[in-house]
Amino acid sequence: MPSSRTHTAIASLSLKHFDAVQVSTPVPSEGQVLIKVAYAAMIAFDTYINDLGYHATFPMIFGFNASGTVAEVGPGIDDLQVGDKARVTAFTFRNSEAKGMQEYTLQTRSVVAKVPDFVSLEAAAAVPDNFITAFNSLFNPQYLGLPYPISFPAPESPPLADVPILVYGAGSTTGHYAVQLLHSAGYKNIIVTASPKHHEYLRSLGATHTFDYNSPTLIEDINSVVTTSKIGKLELVLDCITAQTTLAAISKVVSSQGTVAVLLPLKMGSNVRSNEDDTMWLEIPDSLNPLPTGTRLAGVRTFLFEEVPYLKDNLMTRILPSLLDKKVIEPTKIRLLDEAYGPLKDRVEVGLDLLRNNKVSGEKVIVKVS
Ligand SMILES: NC(=O)c1ccc[n+]([C@@H]2O[C@H](COP(=O)([O-])OP(=O)(O)OC[C@H]3O[C@@H](n4cnc5c(N)ncnc54)[C@H](OP(=O)(O)O)[C@@H]3O)[C@@H](O)[C@H]2O)c1
């Protein structure tokens, strides 16, 4: 239980200006969990808010995942103990009191997962947002719509086990989890693009074909392995980056009967964090959609995952704890920003700088909070 009813948070206060602030510590009501935060994750979206004012309502606390221990629970929460041994990780995406970069964060049960003893809390903070994104993109019928696996590992092959599936930008954290989920669900033809330094690791996770997205022969290379598809083109693609250049490349390998799930917003250029003056698109205009006529463009919005009752009721409460426990999901590597980087505000500044300059490669930025 918190000793005082205020705590420290790091918040974006106005465009390009953030600081440490004191905020009141909420009391959990029906169905809510108060987490004492140990580690919080920073993602590109933190820079979208702070640097670009994108979907910002200032003041806004940083941090889209947080791991820690359960400090208090409200009425109706009967499957989480309170105390130092109650280790959890959460997708901290809602309003400021539910964001991650603060000493206490208030969550609903549906975004909180228990963490097995053998997974460190800093590693656990790397999981929720990208795990939910990967699962949602692959299995939600609105997006790629593969059948929900009954269990992981799959007891039998899924109907499309041999169909080639492209995970574009699999060096990203979403890409890592997508490959692990596909492999465990029984998919046997997992094509990925990533920097060559990630290829061996991605193969160890289950990727069957690994290509360098900077290679001049990328399109030919992908087309050369899409042989089991009836039409010689891909029908299922997940774009983990969703920039102009990634969609342009995908447009050359996807079928007009295929589906491309994209992680909105669309960025101009080729980076996760585009230039300050560039527009980011939550709705992709026809003029920026290079896909063949007929190809379905499915814009993923992970912030809405709870609109699907199955995902709301199971994804974080049951599925993620089980997958971590069975080591089906291995947390990605992390870049830990702790006391060595100075006080909490300085750690956040370092994280923002890495993200705004596209310096994050195959790892998640994790800040030690307390
Ligand atoms: N709409 C949604 O629901 C949703 C959910 C999650 C994320 N997103 C969005 O998805 C984007 C990625 O976010 P994230 O946090 O997942 O990123 P991240 O894990 O930080 O991605 C970093 C990785 O992106 C790869 N990359 C960068 N540019 C690339 C390119 N042109 N082609 C291929 N790979 C490239 C790099 O791979 P290498 O190391 O191999 O070079 C790098 O490792 C962001 O814009 C984010 O807002 C949207």
Question: Could you tell me the CATH number of the domain that includes residue 203?
Answer: 3.40.50.720
What does the pLDDT read at residue 232?
A: 79
Mutating to test ligand 1, I would choose from 127, 172, 278, 303 the residue with most ligand atoms within 8 A of its C-beta, which is 172
Mutating to test ligand 1, I would choose from 191, 240, 245, 356 the residue with most ligand atoms within 8 A of its C-beta, which is 240
Average pLDDT over residues 14-23: 97
265-297 pLDDT per residue, tens: 999 999 999 998 899 999 999 999 999 999 999
Residue 169 placed within a domain:
yes
| 160 and 244 belong to one structural domain | yes
Residue 242 CA to residue 268 CA, distance in Å, equals: 9
Residue 317 placed within a domain:
no
* Among 283, 304, 325, residue at a domain's last position: 304
Burial of 308 (0-12, 13-18, 19+ CB in 10 A): middle
177-221 pLDDT per residue, tens: 999 999 999 999 999 999 999 999 999 999 999 999 999 999 999
For the entire predicted model, the pTM comes to: 0.97
Tokens of 170: 């699999």
Nearest atom of ligand 1 to the alpha carbon of 267: 45
227-248 pLDDT per residue, tens: 755 667 999 999 999 999 999 9
Residue 142 CA to ligand 1 center (angstroms) comes to 21
Which residues form the domain of 249?
130-304
Q: At what angle do helices 173-184 and 128-139 cross, to 10 degrees?
A: 50
Question: Could you tell me the CATH number of the domain that includes residue 87?
Answer: 3.90.180.10
